[in-house]
Amino acid sequence: MTPGKASDQKHAVANLSNLYRIFTVPESPDSTLGRIDQEISQNLNGFLRNHIVATEQDLTIIEQGFSSPRIPEQPTFVSDYTEFLLDTLVAQSVHTAAPGFVGHMTSALPNFMLPLSRIMTALNQNLVKIETSKAFTPMERQVLGMLHALIYGKDDAYYQHWMHDPECALGSFCSGGTLANITALWVARNNLFPADDGFQGIAKEGLYRAFRHYGCEGAVVLISQRGHYSFGKAADLLGIGRDSIIAIPTDADNRIDIGELQATCDRLKEQGIRIISLVGIAGTTETGNVDPLDKLADIAEQQGCHFHVDAAWGGPTLFSETYKPLLKGIERADSVTIDAHKQLYVPMGAGMVLFKNPASLSSIEHHAEYILRKGSKDLGSHTLEGSRPGTAMLVHSALNIIGRKGYELLIDKGIGIARTFAAMIDADADFELITEPELNLLTYRYVPAPLQALLPKLPAGELAAVNRELDALTMQIQKVQRAAGQSFVSRTRLSRPQYDNDTITVFRVVLANPLTTPEILREMLAEQKQIATEDPEAAAIVAGLLESVAED
Which residues from 503-532 bind a copy of itself, rule CB under 8 A?
A: 508, 514-515
Least distance from a copy of itself to the Cβ atom of residue 96, Å: 5
Alpha-carbon torsion (446, 450, 453, 455), positive or negative: negative
Quote the CA–CA distance of 159 and 135 in Å, as a whole number: 18
Is 370 a residue that touches a copy of itself (CB under 8 A)?
Answer: yes
377 touches a copy of itself (CB under 8 A): yes
Instruction: Kindly tell me which residue out of 142, 277, 360, 440 binds a copy of itself, with binding defined by CB under 8 A.
Output: 142
Q: Which is nearer to a copy of itself, 409 or 539 (CB)?
A: 409
Give the residue ranges of DSSP H helices in 456-517.
460-484
Site pattern 233..272 for a copy of itself (x: CB under 8 A): x-xxxxxxxxxx----------------------------
Residue of 6, 47, 416, 530 that binds a copy of itself (CB under 8 A) = 47
Residue from 7, 14, 43, 497 binding a copy of itself (CB under 8 A)? 43
Stretch that binds a copy of itself, among 253-261, 323-331, 361-369, 460-468 (CB under 8 A): 361-369
Q: How far apart are CA 524 and CA 515, in angstroms?
A: 15
Query: Which positions from 395 through 424 interact with a copy of itself, judged by CB under 8 A?
Result: 397, 399-406, 409-410
SS (H, E, C) 510-539: ECCCCCCCHHHHHHHHHHHHHHHHHCHHHH
Least separation in angstroms between residue 302's CB and a copy of itself is 26
What contacts 24+ positions apart, CB below 8 Å, involve 452-461?
A: 454/549, 454/552, 455/499, 456/498, 458/552, 460/500
Q: Report 60-119 residues binding a copy of itself (CB under 8 A).
A: 62-63, 65-78, 81, 84-85, 88-94, 96-97, 103-106, 108-119
Q: Is 357 in the site for a copy of itself (CB under 8 A)?
A: no
341 SS3 class: coil
For residues 463 and 532, give the distance between their C-alpha atoms in angstroms, rounded to a whole number. 20
State in angstroms the smallest separation of the CB of 398 from a copy of itself. Answer: 10
Residue 488: CB minimum distance to a copy of itself, A: 7
In the complex, least distance from residue 235 CB atom to a copy of itself, rounded to whole angstroms: 8
Q: Beta partners for 470?
A: none
Nearer to a copy of itself, 29 or 518 (CB): 29
Q: Shortest Cβ distance from residue 295 to a copy of itself (Å)? A: 26
CB of 88 to a copy of itself, least distance (A): 7
Rounded Cα distance, 411 and 371, in Å: 41
Residue closer to a copy of itself by CB (options 142, 264) is 142
CB of 223: closest distance to a copy of itself in angstroms?
14
10 Å CB burial of residue 115 (0-12, 13-18, 19+) is exposed
Alpha-helix runs per DSSP H in 193-289: 202-205, 207-213, 230-237, 258-270
Q: Is 468 in the site for a copy of itself (CB under 8 A)?
A: no
CB-based contacts of 58, cutoff 8 Å, min separation 6 = none
Number of residues that bind a copy of itself (CB under 8 A): 183
- The nearest distance, CB 174 to a copy of itself, in angstroms, is 8
CA gap 238, 328 in Å, rounded:
30
Q: Which residues contact 74 (CB under 8 A, 6 or more apart)?
A: 4, 8, 9, 12, 15
**Within positions 162 to 191, which residues make up the interface with a copy of itself, using CB under 8 A?**
163-164, 175-179, 182, 186, 190
Query: What is d(CA 461, CA 450) in angstroms, rounded to the nearest whole number?
Result: 19
